[in-house]
Structure 1
Amino acid sequence: RWYSEFAGIFGRDERQDPDRWAESRLAYGGVTLWETPDGTPVAMAGATPLIAGQIRVAPVYTPAPLRGRGYAGAATAEVSRAALAGGADEVLLFTDLANPTSNGLYQRIGYRPVADFADFAVYDFAK
Protein backbone atom coordinates (compact mmCIF):
# COMPACT_ATOMS: atom_id res chain seq x y z
CA ARG A 1 0.00 0.00 0.00
CA TRP A 2 2.75 2.48 0.89
CA TYR A 3 4.49 1.99 -2.45
CA SER A 4 1.23 2.88 -4.23
CA GLU A 5 0.84 5.99 -2.08
CA PHE A 6 4.45 6.99 -2.77
CA ALA A 7 3.99 6.44 -6.51
CA GLY A 8 0.83 8.54 -6.56
CA ILE A 9 2.32 11.45 -4.66
CA PHE A 10 5.65 11.59 -6.45
CA GLY A 11 4.55 10.67 -9.96
CA ARG A 12 6.36 7.35 -10.10
CA ASP A 13 5.43 4.59 -12.52
CA GLU A 14 2.12 3.34 -11.16
CA ARG A 15 2.03 0.54 -13.73
CA GLN A 16 4.33 -1.49 -11.51
CA ASP A 17 2.27 -3.84 -9.39
CA PRO A 18 2.81 -2.94 -5.71
CA ASP A 19 2.75 -6.60 -4.64
CA ARG A 20 5.43 -7.53 -7.17
CA TRP A 21 7.49 -4.51 -6.09
CA ALA A 22 7.30 -5.63 -2.46
CA GLU A 23 8.11 -9.26 -3.29
CA SER A 24 11.15 -8.28 -5.36
CA ARG A 25 12.46 -5.96 -2.64
CA LEU A 26 11.88 -8.49 0.12
CA ALA A 27 13.68 -11.19 -1.89
CA TYR A 28 17.01 -9.35 -1.60
CA GLY A 29 16.37 -7.34 1.57
CA GLY A 30 15.75 -4.11 -0.32
CA VAL A 31 13.11 -2.56 1.94
CA THR A 32 13.24 -1.57 5.59
CA LEU A 33 10.16 -0.84 7.66
CA TRP A 34 10.75 1.47 10.61
CA GLU A 35 8.62 0.52 13.60
CA THR A 36 7.65 2.10 16.88
CA PRO A 37 8.62 0.19 20.07
CA ASP A 38 5.24 -1.59 20.00
CA GLY A 39 5.93 -2.95 16.50
CA THR A 40 3.74 -0.57 14.49
CA PRO A 41 5.31 0.20 11.09
CA VAL A 42 5.57 3.97 10.58
CA ALA A 43 7.95 4.50 7.64
CA MET A 44 9.76 2.63 4.90
CA ALA A 45 13.01 3.08 3.04
CA GLY A 46 13.98 0.97 0.07
CA ALA A 47 17.32 0.27 -1.55
CA THR A 48 18.40 -1.08 -4.91
CA PRO A 49 20.71 -4.07 -5.21
CA LEU A 50 24.44 -3.33 -5.21
CA ILE A 51 25.56 -2.48 -8.76
CA ALA A 52 29.06 -1.22 -9.61
CA GLY A 53 29.71 -0.44 -5.95
CA GLN A 54 26.59 1.72 -5.61
CA ILE A 55 23.27 1.38 -3.84
CA ARG A 56 20.47 3.89 -4.36
CA VAL A 57 18.07 4.56 -1.50
CA ALA A 58 14.49 4.70 -2.82
CA PRO A 59 11.70 5.05 -2.07
CA VAL A 60 11.54 6.74 1.32
CA TYR A 61 7.99 7.17 2.58
CA THR A 62 6.04 7.98 5.73
CA PRO A 63 2.23 8.20 5.67
CA ALA A 64 1.04 11.80 6.02
CA PRO A 65 -0.39 11.48 9.56
CA LEU A 66 2.96 10.17 10.84
CA ARG A 67 5.29 12.72 9.27
CA GLY A 68 7.47 15.15 11.21
CA ARG A 69 8.52 12.65 13.88
CA GLY A 70 11.87 11.54 12.47
CA TYR A 71 10.70 8.15 11.24
CA ALA A 72 11.79 8.60 7.62
CA GLY A 73 15.15 9.95 8.73
CA ALA A 74 15.73 6.98 10.99
CA ALA A 75 14.75 4.52 8.26
CA THR A 76 16.95 6.29 5.69
CA ALA A 77 19.92 6.41 8.05
CA GLU A 78 19.56 2.70 8.80
CA VAL A 79 19.27 1.69 5.13
CA SER A 80 22.30 3.86 4.32
CA ARG A 81 24.33 2.37 7.18
CA ALA A 82 23.41 -1.17 6.12
CA ALA A 83 24.36 -0.43 2.50
CA LEU A 84 27.82 0.75 3.52
CA ALA A 85 28.24 -2.17 5.92
CA GLY A 86 27.22 -4.51 3.10
CA GLY A 87 30.00 -3.33 0.83
CA ALA A 88 28.67 -0.32 -1.06
CA ASP A 89 31.32 2.23 -1.95
CA GLU A 90 28.66 4.86 -2.60
CA VAL A 91 25.13 5.28 -1.34
CA LEU A 92 23.03 7.79 -3.22
CA LEU A 93 19.51 9.09 -3.39
CA PHE A 94 17.49 11.50 -5.45
CA THR A 95 15.44 14.24 -3.81
CA ASP A 96 13.13 17.03 -4.83
CA LEU A 97 15.15 20.25 -4.65
CA ALA A 98 11.94 22.15 -3.92
CA ASN A 99 11.45 20.22 -0.66
CA PRO A 100 13.56 21.83 2.08
CA THR A 101 12.37 19.29 4.66
CA SER A 102 13.77 16.23 2.90
CA ASN A 103 16.88 18.08 1.72
CA GLY A 104 17.69 19.22 5.25
CA LEU A 105 17.06 15.76 6.63
CA TYR A 106 19.33 14.05 4.12
CA GLN A 107 22.13 16.54 4.77
CA ARG A 108 21.79 16.07 8.54
CA ILE A 109 22.32 12.31 8.18
CA GLY A 110 25.37 12.75 5.97
CA TYR A 111 24.27 13.14 2.37
CA ARG A 112 25.52 16.05 0.31
CA PRO A 113 24.23 17.55 -2.93
CA VAL A 114 26.23 16.45 -5.96
CA ALA A 115 24.27 17.21 -9.13
CA ASP A 116 20.87 18.20 -10.47
CA PHE A 117 19.04 15.92 -12.87
CA ALA A 118 16.11 16.38 -15.20
CA ASP A 119 13.82 13.89 -16.93
CA PHE A 120 13.04 14.31 -20.59
CA ALA A 121 10.44 12.47 -22.64
CA VAL A 122 11.36 11.79 -26.25
CA TYR A 123 8.60 11.14 -28.75
CA ASP A 124 8.80 9.81 -32.29
CA PHE A 125 6.31 12.07 -34.07
CA ALA A 126 7.11 10.45 -37.42
CA LYS A 127 4.94 7.44 -36.56
Structure 2
Amino acid sequence: MKFSLIAAIVLFALAQGSFSQDDTNLDNLSQYFEDLKNKVTQELTELISNQDLANQAQTFLDDRKTQLEPLASQIQDQLRTAAANVEEQIKPLAANVQAQLKPMVDNFQRQMEAILQKLTEQAQAISN
Protein backbone atom coordinates (compact mmCIF):
# COMPACT_ATOMS: atom_id res chain seq x y z
CA MET A 1 0.00 0.00 0.00
CA LYS A 2 2.83 2.44 0.88
CA PHE A 3 4.67 1.28 -2.21
CA SER A 4 1.64 2.10 -4.34
CA LEU A 5 1.45 5.61 -2.89
CA ILE A 6 5.18 6.19 -3.37
CA ALA A 7 4.98 4.88 -6.91
CA ALA A 8 2.04 7.17 -7.59
CA ILE A 9 3.94 10.19 -6.26
CA VAL A 10 7.00 9.32 -8.35
CA LEU A 11 4.78 8.80 -11.36
CA PHE A 12 3.14 12.14 -10.73
CA ALA A 13 6.50 13.90 -10.40
CA LEU A 14 7.79 12.36 -13.63
CA ALA A 15 4.55 12.99 -15.41
CA GLN A 16 4.27 16.59 -14.29
CA GLY A 17 6.90 17.86 -16.68
CA SER A 18 5.88 15.84 -19.72
CA PHE A 19 2.11 16.04 -19.23
CA SER A 20 1.79 19.62 -18.11
CA GLN A 21 0.86 20.81 -21.58
CA ASP A 22 -1.43 17.97 -22.47
CA ASP A 23 -4.89 18.25 -20.82
CA THR A 24 -5.93 14.76 -21.88
CA ASN A 25 -2.99 13.11 -20.15
CA LEU A 26 -3.52 15.33 -17.10
CA ASP A 27 -7.13 14.17 -16.91
CA ASN A 28 -5.95 10.56 -17.15
CA LEU A 29 -3.46 11.16 -14.35
CA SER A 30 -6.17 12.76 -12.19
CA GLN A 31 -8.41 9.79 -12.84
CA TYR A 32 -5.55 7.43 -11.92
CA PHE A 33 -5.07 9.18 -8.58
CA GLU A 34 -8.81 9.16 -7.93
CA ASP A 35 -8.94 5.42 -8.66
CA LEU A 36 -5.90 4.85 -6.45
CA LYS A 37 -7.52 6.78 -3.59
CA ASN A 38 -10.72 4.78 -3.93
CA LYS A 39 -8.82 1.49 -4.02
CA VAL A 40 -6.78 2.33 -0.92
CA THR A 41 -9.94 3.44 0.91
CA GLN A 42 -11.73 0.23 -0.04
CA GLU A 43 -8.79 -1.97 1.03
CA LEU A 44 -8.50 -0.21 4.36
CA THR A 45 -12.23 -0.50 4.95
CA GLU A 46 -12.10 -4.22 4.19
CA LEU A 47 -9.10 -4.69 6.45
CA ILE A 48 -10.71 -2.87 9.35
CA SER A 49 -14.05 -4.60 9.00
CA ASN A 50 -12.53 -8.01 8.46
CA GLN A 51 -14.10 -10.33 11.03
CA ASP A 52 -11.17 -12.69 10.85
CA LEU A 53 -8.91 -9.98 12.25
CA ALA A 54 -11.37 -9.29 15.06
CA ASN A 55 -11.64 -13.02 15.82
CA GLN A 56 -7.85 -13.36 15.90
CA ALA A 57 -7.60 -10.45 18.32
CA GLN A 58 -10.28 -11.94 20.57
CA THR A 59 -8.57 -15.34 20.49
CA PHE A 60 -5.26 -13.70 21.37
CA LEU A 61 -6.83 -11.90 24.32
CA ASP A 62 -8.57 -15.07 25.53
CA ASP A 63 -5.31 -17.02 25.32
CA ARG A 64 -3.43 -14.39 27.32
CA LYS A 65 -6.20 -14.31 29.91
CA THR A 66 -6.03 -18.08 30.25
CA GLN A 67 -2.26 -17.90 30.67
CA LEU A 68 -2.38 -15.08 33.22
CA GLU A 69 -5.16 -16.42 35.47
CA PRO A 70 -2.94 -19.01 37.23
CA LEU A 71 -0.25 -16.37 37.69
CA ALA A 72 -2.78 -13.98 39.20
CA SER A 73 -3.95 -16.72 41.55
CA GLN A 74 -0.36 -17.40 42.64
CA ILE A 75 0.23 -13.71 43.27
CA GLN A 76 -2.95 -13.47 45.35
CA ASP A 77 -1.85 -16.47 47.43
CA GLN A 78 1.58 -14.94 47.96
CA LEU A 79 0.05 -11.63 48.98
CA ARG A 80 -2.26 -13.36 51.47
CA THR A 81 0.72 -15.19 52.98
CA ALA A 82 2.75 -11.99 53.15
CA ALA A 83 -0.15 -10.11 54.76
CA ALA A 84 -0.56 -12.85 57.36
CA ASN A 85 3.17 -12.74 58.15
CA VAL A 86 3.12 -8.96 58.51
CA GLU A 87 0.06 -9.16 60.74
CA GLU A 88 1.76 -11.76 62.96
CA GLN A 89 4.76 -9.47 63.36
CA ILE A 90 2.76 -6.28 63.90
CA LYS A 91 0.33 -7.60 66.52
CA PRO A 92 2.98 -8.15 69.22
CA LEU A 93 4.65 -4.87 68.29
CA ALA A 94 1.35 -3.00 68.57
CA ALA A 95 0.61 -4.65 71.90
CA ASN A 96 4.09 -3.72 73.16
CA VAL A 97 3.71 -0.10 72.04
CA GLN A 98 0.25 0.09 73.59
CA ALA A 99 1.59 -1.33 76.88
CA GLN A 100 4.40 1.23 76.92
CA LEU A 101 2.16 4.15 75.99
CA LYS A 102 -0.61 3.43 78.51
CA PRO A 103 1.38 4.61 81.58
CA MET A 104 2.51 7.71 79.66
CA VAL A 105 -1.04 8.53 78.60
CA ASP A 106 -2.32 7.94 82.12
CA ASN A 107 0.40 10.21 83.53
CA PHE A 108 -0.38 12.89 80.94
CA GLN A 109 -4.07 12.68 81.82
CA ARG A 110 -3.34 13.09 85.53
CA GLN A 111 -1.14 16.13 84.83
CA MET A 112 -3.82 17.71 82.65
CA GLU A 113 -6.45 17.06 85.32
CA ALA A 114 -4.20 18.69 87.93
CA ILE A 115 -3.65 21.74 85.73
CA LEU A 116 -7.37 21.99 85.07
CA GLN A 117 -8.07 21.72 88.82
CA LYS A 118 -5.59 24.54 89.56
CA LEU A 119 -7.13 26.74 86.87
CA THR A 120 -10.60 26.08 88.25
CA GLU A 121 -9.45 26.97 91.81
CA GLN A 122 -7.77 30.15 90.59
CA ALA A 123 -10.85 31.14 88.63
CA GLN A 124 -13.01 30.64 91.75
CA ALA A 125 -10.61 32.66 93.87
CA ILE A 126 -10.68 35.51 91.38
CA SER A 127 -14.48 35.47 91.13
CA ASN A 128 -14.91 35.68 94.97
TM range (shorter): under 0.3
Higher relative contact order, chain-length normalized (CA < 8 Å, sep 6+): 1
- Normalising by structure 1, what TM-score? 0.22
Larger strand fraction of residues: 1
The structure whose Rg is larger is 2
